[in-house]
Amino acid sequence: MELLEKLLEDQKLAMKAREKLRLNVIRGLRSEIKNAEIARKQPLTEEEALSILQRELKKR
């Protein structure tokens, strides 16, 4: 399963389970990835998306 698809699936599960903290983290990660795609004006590769996730992990 692709990373972005996995994040979307995890977001749905967090919403159903009413896990607010997990949901906020996933939404933030998806937002950062989407912003990077908009800045590049093309979809990110798996490696680029993973590097964004690692960068965000260091922030928290």
Among the listed residues 50, 55, 57, the one whose alpha carbon sits nearest the alpha carbon of residue 4: 50
HSE-CB of 7 using CA atoms within 13 angstroms: 18
Q: Which domains does the chain have, with CATH numbers?
A: 3-59 (1.10.1510.10)
Rounded to two decimals, the pTM is: 0.84
Report CA dihedral (53, 38, 48, 19) to the nearest 10 degrees: 20
7 vs 17: CA distance, rounded Å: 15
Residues 7-51 pLDDT 10s: 999 999 999 999 999 999 999 999 999 999 999 999 999 999 999
